[in-house]
Structure 1
Amino acid sequence: MSLGNVLPDRIGFGTAPMGNMFRAVPDDEVTATLDAAWEQGIRFYDTAPLYGAGLAEIRLGKMLSHKPRDEYVLSTKVGRVILEEVESSSRDLGEKGALFEHGRPNKILHEWTADATERSIEGSLKRLGTNRLDVVWVHDIAQDFHGDLWLNKFEEARTGAFRVLSRLRDEGVIKAWGLGVNRTEPIELALALDEPQPDGFLLAGRYTLLDHEHALQRLLPMAEEQNVDMVVGGPYSSGILAGGTHFEYQDAPPHIIERVHRIKDIAQQHGVSIKAAALHFSLAHPVSAAVIPGATKPSRIAEDLTALHEPIPAGFWHELRENKLVSPLAPLPNDA
């Protein structure tokens, strides 16, 4: 099934911040933000066991427990099994470093086998307090694995998670499945398979104003040819495009800060908000089905929805292209 037929809107809510990403977010702030998302019409919620070792799922489940199940679309991920035991040693999240150091202390098992996939889904359903999931992503294959090791992990997922999720989709237990990653290579490899075939993919941070060249070279042409949809995660590039200081889960380096300043200068000249530019760009590609920005403050929800509907003059996009701030291969929004 096409993701476009599953997702209710072009914008959803990414719950990584609800797992105490970067900081310890107070419960009342979380509740207010999630309530604001629902009240303002957000009906697609994406989460993962990794986000705070289950904390984001627990918090999201608490809000959704009061809502009719047929009124929203819910996606989560497999590849991490959250154990009841507490992590006794320092947690290694590779390039994500101390991203969720303020989350729950539970031990995390990184595994993409069939058994781990079923255990992961069972744990997510329990934490979310629901009896079904709509979309399941295979999370972070290839992240932090170098050389042939990431191919070994991909093979583990192909013979494990991929087949379990394909079966669950065919049985009608879930509506769709795909890969949720921040690298393009595993998606390209998955699309080249005869079976099992994903319905789509969640690409985090790789189709944004600041980082899109690589995705345009191979992945997105493959996806378009096969009618496979994309959900864009991290459209603000870890926050740097929304007034924050992070890029790729770390403090933004000088060359990224300089690039953001150049984009903001052009945006200001055309009366365009940087958030609107970021969302419109990520949605302009034909395979883009939705974007899922995250937030920890209720006011950010209104900002995102306003940005989504903000008109942007064609001259803005053409000036970005003339200044080589967007690839000539990138489709521009329809109004350009």
Structure 2
Amino acid sequence: MTLPFGRLGLGCAQLGNLYQAIDDDEATATVEAAWTAGVRYFDTAPHYGLGLSERRLGAALREHHRDEYVVSTKVGRLLVPNPSPTGHDDELFDVPDTLRRVWDFSADGVRRSLADSLERLGLDRVDLVLIHDPEGHADEALDTAYPALERLRADGVVRAIGVGSMDVGVLTRFAADTDIDVVMSAGRYTLLDQPALDTLLPLCSRRGITVLNAAVFNGGLLAEDRPHGTLRYNYQNSPDTVLELASAMAAVCERHGTTLPAAALHFAAGNPAISTVVAGAQGPEQASRNAALAFGPPPPAALWADLIRNGLLRPDAPTPPGAA
């Protein structure tokens, strides 16, 4: 199943108050900025802000015809009432903890999760459902969650199914052992990290599996022209060594008349196995900027050669065609 994801999708974790709270108006403006720039694929999950991202995304898309966009959400975490709220969620999202997450990869859990997501989104269908972060429950996800999604696909409830994770091993296992349509690789093929290059991407190419390359800013560190210590790497505090690497890359980008975010977006799309880059945005300005960079001219070819020559990038990583 091939869906019209386009070159760039909007990752919607920020709509769930990832790292910092935004209001409903800013969430809507972020989606609208991406839409105006040509983005038509939107990825969310119950995990993002304890359902807040799904509610905000659904509200923002309500003015658009359902056949004009593609939405994915995820299963694996059910949201249930929290019997002992402390007042604030403790998993990166600035939201009240009136709900809590419960891992559930059972068939019933998959169906319930999807039904709950549809209610929050206010939609009668989503196009793609991904098994979310199954690395700690890989056997159960393969044995129960995947067959449940396979049945939903066979029954026409969803158009495509897949798996999303930061764990290359579990993504490779699903790609090898199941009939999924889509792999969402989160932060595993970026300027800073390319472990997906070795086995996962070649396997997906051979098997005809669509690859969505998400978290291409590695949680924030590559999202600004000049990296600094308050930016996150893989959703944690940035280690000094990684911050130094990103800063060195930024300096090379500047010498070649481009920026680190531009290089990050174009590199993330440069492997022929990758269908779509999925990038989050902290507000409408960043959503517009990301689209302008992704759809705009690529950095010069000399940039990639310089990064490789300075030991900042793997020499075997495919690089995009450079600007003339």
Interval of TM-score (by shorter of Structure 1 and Structure 2): over 0.9
Question: Which residue number in structure 1 is paired with residue 212 of structure 2?
Answer: 231
Counterparts of 1:87 and 1:21 in 2: how far apart (Å)? 23
Give the SS at the match of 1:167: helix
Quote the offset at 1:197 in angstroms: 1.3
Alpha carbons of 1:102 and 1:279: their partners in 2 closer, same or farther (altered >3 Å)?
Answer: same
Residue type at the aligned position of 2:283:
K
- CA deviations 1:134-183 (Å, max 9, x no partner) are 011000011xxxxxxx3xx2121112211111122222221111111011
Residue type at the aligned position of 1:27:
D
Q: 1:174 aligns with which of 154, 158, 161?
A: 158
Q: Which moved more, 1:123-132 or 1:6-15?
A: 6-15
Quote the offset at 1:87 in angstroms: 4.8
Residue type at the aligned position of 1:208:
T
**Equivalent residues of 1:187, 1:219 under 8 A apart:** yes
Counterparts of 1:158 and 1:268 in 2: how far apart (Å)? 45
Determine whether 1:189 maps to 2:173.
yes
Quote the offset at 1:118 in angstroms: 0.2
Question: Which residue number in structure 2 is paired with residue 78 of structure 1?
Answer: 75
Counterparts of 1:168 and 1:282 in 2: how far apart (Å)? 31
Question: Which residue number in structure 2 is paired with residue 117 of structure 1?
Answer: 110
Quote the offset at 1:301 in angstroms: 1.7
Question: Which residue number in structure 1 is paired with residue 283 of structure 2?
Answer: 297
**Equivalent residues of 2:298, 2:320 under 8 A apart:** no
Quote the offset at 1:258 in angstroms: 0.6
Question: Which residue number in structure 1 is paired with residue 138 of structure 2?
Answer: 154
Quote the offset at 1:199 in angstroms: 0.9
Residue type at the aligned position of 1:297:
G
Question: Which residue number in structure 1 is paired with residue 234 of structure 2?
Answer: 248
**Equivalent residues of 1:236, 1:278 under 8 A apart:** yes
Give the SS at the match of 2:8: coil
Question: Which residue number in structure 2 is paired with residue 88 of structure 1?
Answer: 84
Question: Which residue number in structure 2 is paired with residue 266 of structure 1?
Answer: 252
Q: Structure 2: where are the runs of 5+ without partners?
A: none
Question: Which residue number in structure 2 is paired with residue 281 of structure 1?
Answer: 267
Alpha carbons of 1:273 and 1:224: their partners in 2 closer, same or farther (altered >3 Å)?
Answer: same
Quote the offset at 1:257 in angstroms: 1.1
Residue type at the aligned position of 2:160:
A
- CA deviations 1:98-130 (Å, max 9, x no partner) are 312425531221111101000000000000000
Q: Which runs of 4+ in 1 moved over 6 A?
A: none
Alpha carbons of 1:103 and 1:304: their partners in 2 closer, same or farther (altered >3 Å)?
Answer: farther
Q: 2:93 aligns with which of 80, 91, 100?
A: 100
Q: 2:36 aligns with which of 9, 27, 39?
A: 39
Give the SS at the match of 1:230: strand
**Equivalent residues of 1:19, 1:103 under 8 A apart:** no
**Equivalent residues of 2:28, 2:60 under 8 A apart:** yes
Counterparts of 2:253 and 2:282 in 1: how far apart (Å)? 25
**Equivalent residues of 2:175, 2:183 under 8 A apart:** no
Counterparts of 1:44 and 1:185 in 2: how far apart (Å)? 26
Residue type at the aligned position of 1:310:
P
**Equivalent residues of 2:31, 2:57 under 8 A apart:** yes
**Equivalent residues of 1:79, 1:110 under 8 A apart:** yes
Question: Which residue number in structure 1 is paired with residue 147 of structure 2?
Answer: 163
RMSD: 1.9
Identity of aligned residues (%): 38
Question: Which residue number in structure 2 is paired with residue 136 of structure 1?
Answer: 129
Question: Which residue number in structure 1 is paired with residue 58 of structure 2?
Answer: 61
Question: Which residue number in structure 1 is paired with residue 192 of structure 2?
Answer: 210
Counterparts of 1:25 and 1:87 in 2: how far apart (Å)? 26
How many residue pairs end up in the alignment?
A: 317
Counterparts of 2:91 and 2:144 in 1: how far apart (Å)? 28
The normalised TM-score by structure 2 is 0.93
Determine whether 1:332 maps to 2:319.
yes
Residue type at the aligned position of 1:305:
A
The normalised TM-score by structure 1 is 0.90
**Equivalent residues of 1:82, 1:108 under 8 A apart:** yes
Quote the offset at 1:192 in angstroms: 2.3
Give the SS at the match of 1:222: helix
Counterparts of 2:103 and 2:86 in 1: how far apart (Å)? 15
**Equivalent residues of 1:55, 1:103 under 8 A apart:** no
Give the SS at the match of 1:36: helix
